């Protein structure tokens, strides 16, 4: 049942993100979807606080996944505030920073809140924060794209962008590593090697905090010197190295170190793939393209835990880290094989019209 509850979060992201993104581009609006996302978060959190029943949790986790499906609209609305489209890596770095910072704060505060007021308390707090978020969303300015000026394209057409195909494939590898390690089997490995339960939240934070910081460093500094494919190779290489090193020792200091280094790799890869997914795509279609990327990488959220469960049921626990490292190596290899021409290319008919 726990596995079903975890998987329920990824299912709507896999199935609805493209359609929501295409709808947003067709309407020429994004803020209304942010309102939808915050409202759905509030409903999900209230449901889990009021009805702590296993199958109810599945339903409300599906609602949480639906709320997460509006993340593309958050990202693209933020990017629209940048007049220079060359700043996409910079913008995505800050978006990733905000997202990861929320995870860091939630990981730290949620544990204390649950310990002090019970397991329902974090859900009540989440619902209250959603109300605050809903208020903030209504204050955001938005310049609407003229409806009908450029109809949102079908997924088959967008798939002709080499940058979107590359980002989507690499995104699956990135999510598999993340959900097999930091959000998967690292806490279990740490617990088996004597780490106190109270330190598990700090261990997760050790992986998220460097990812948060390096998402900004990547967008504001590293992107000035390295291309998207080289940054992707660097991030995946760090993830491969420190994933395979994780199970070599079981000490707390070693686990904190490897998790931090793994977080650096994720912090580099995250904003790079977000920027890669919309490279060369016309501005009025970017929400759809980014939603396609997110929908496809959601497959990694599901495939990672599924593969991990199969592996650990038959082999020692450390074998899941070899699988994770292999995924990162594949990501690094694909990044190296990409050409700048592929990442910058647009479908032939768009190139002819100059769109």
Q: What is the pLDDT of residues 83-112, one digit of tens each?
A: 665 677 888 888 888 888 888 888 778 878
261 versus 160: the higher-pLDDT residue is 261
Of residues 32 and 148, more confidently modeled: 32
> By percentage, how much of the chain surpasses pLDDT 70?
89
d(CA 278, CA 108): 33
Give the highest mean pLDDT range of 108-122, 171-185, 255-269, 291-305.
Answer: 255-269
Instruction: Give the per-residue pLDDT at 63.
Output: 94
120-157 pLDDT per residue, tens:
999 999 999 999 999 999 998 887 655 544 555 666 77
CA distances (Å), origin 279, targets 24, 50, 140, 235: 19, 44, 25, 19
Residue 84 pLDDT: 61
| Top-confidence residue, 201 or 323 | 323
Give the 3-state secondary structure of residue 247.
Answer: helix
Band of the pLDDT at 260, cuts 50, 70, 90?
Answer: very high
**Closest Cα partner for 203 from 183, 177, 218, 223?**
183
Look up the pTM and report it. 0.79
pLDDT at 193 over 90: no
CA angle 143, 69, 162 (to 5 degrees): 80
Closest CA to 69 of 18, 143, 25: 18
Q: Does residue 27 surpass a pLDDT of 90?
A: no
Q: Which residues contact 27 (CB under 8 A, 6 or more apart)?
A: 147
| Banded pLDDT at 176 (limits 50, 70, 90) | very high
pLDDT tier at 351, thresholds 50, 70, 90: very low
pLDDT at position 330 over 90: yes
Give the domains, in start order, of the chain with CATH numbers.
2-140+154-340 (1.20.1250.20)
Please say whether the beta carbons of 28 and 287 come within 8 A: no
220 neighbors 90 (Cβ within 8 angstroms): yes
Task: Please write the tens of the pLDDT for every residue from 44-79.
Answer: 999 999 998 888 998 999 999 999 989 888 888 888
Reading the block at residue 237, the tokens are 């290489």
Asked if the model's pLDDT at residue 292 lies above 80, the reply is: yes
Which pLDDT does position 341 carry in this prediction?
Answer: 65
**Which whole number is the average pLDDT over 239-260?**
91
Q: For residue 276, what are the contacts with CB-CB under 8 A and spacing of at least 6?
A: 163, 164, 166, 167, 170, 228, 232, 343
Does residue 40 surpass a pLDDT of 90?
A: yes
In the block, tokens 């920073």 appear at 97
Distance separating alpha carbons of residues 264 and 271, to the nearest angstrom: 12
């Amino acid at each position: 049942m726990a596995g079903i509850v975890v998987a329920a979060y990824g299912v709507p992201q896999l199935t609805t993100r493209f359609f929501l993104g295409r709808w947003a581009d067709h309407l020429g609006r994004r803020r209304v979807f942010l309102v939808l996302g915050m409202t759905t978060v509030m409903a999900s959190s209230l449901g889990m606080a009021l009805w702590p029943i296993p199958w109810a949790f599945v339903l409300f986790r599906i609602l949480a996944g639906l709320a997460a499906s509006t993340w593309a609209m958050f990202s693209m609305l933020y990017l629209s505030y940048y007049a220079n489209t060359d700043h996409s890596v910079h913008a995505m770095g800050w978006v990733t920073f905000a997202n990861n910072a929320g995870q860091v704060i939630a990981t730290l505060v949620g544990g204390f809140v649950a310990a002090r007021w019970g397991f329902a308390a974090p859900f009540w707090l989440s619902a209250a924060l959603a109300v605050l978020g809903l208020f903030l969303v209504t204050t955001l300015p938005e310049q609407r794209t003229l409806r009908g000026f450029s109809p949102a394209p079908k997924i088959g057409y967008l798939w002709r962008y080499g940058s979107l195909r590359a980002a989507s494939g690499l995104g699956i590898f990135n999510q598999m590593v993340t959900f097999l390690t930091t959000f998967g089997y690292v806490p279990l490995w740490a617990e088996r090697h004597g780490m106190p339960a109270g330190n598990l939240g700090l261990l997760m934070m050790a992986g998220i905090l460097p990812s948060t910081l390096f998402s900004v460093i990547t967008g504001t500094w590293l992107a000035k010197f390295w291309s998207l494919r080289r940054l992707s190779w660097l991030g995946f290489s760090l993830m491969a190295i420190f994933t395979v090193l994780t199970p070599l020792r079981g000490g707390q200091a070693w686990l904190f170190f490897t998790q931090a280094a793994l977080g650096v790799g994720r912090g580099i890869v995250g904003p790079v793939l977000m920027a890669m997914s919309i490279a060369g795509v016309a501005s009025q279609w970017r929400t759809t393209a980014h939603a396609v990327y997110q929908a496809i990488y959601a497959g990694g959220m599901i495939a990672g835990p599924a593969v991990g469960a199969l592996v650990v049921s038959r082999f020692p626990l450390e074998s899941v880290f070899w699988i994770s490292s292999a995924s990162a190596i594949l990501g690094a290899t694909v990044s190296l094989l990409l050409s700048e021409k592929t990442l910058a290319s647009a479908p032939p008919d768009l190139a002819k019209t100059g769109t």
